[in-house]
Amino acid sequence: MLRTYKAILHGDHVEWLDQRPEQTQPVPVHITPLEDATLEPAHERGRLMAEALAALASRGTFAAITDPVAWQREVRHERTLPAREG
């Protein structure tokens, strides 16, 4: 089974972010750069997300949605799943 490990590539050096592979021998790898990935710290991303949500709230963007679950089902065009109550 292939596993995925988060890392940052610095030239020819890999900095592991979370768990690192437990390898004692060299292992061939494929590295795919994530073009839309941000290197901002999590707390900074959280602050920016909170600011964006506050801006939406101040504009009353979702004020017309009285039943969020019904709205989501309508938007997603959900269907009843087999063996589940509709």
**Using one digit for the tens of pLDDT, what is the confidence trace for 20-63?**
888 888 888 888 888 766 667 778 888 899 999 999 999 998 89
CA distance 36 to 39: 10
The pTM of the whole model exceeds 0.85: no
Please say if the pLDDT value at position 11 is more than 70: yes
Taking phi over 0 as left and psi of -120 to 50 as alpha, with beta for the rest, 69 belongs to alpha
CA distance 27 to 22: 10
The contacts found for 3-12 with CB under 8 angstroms, 24 or more apart, are 8/39, 9/33
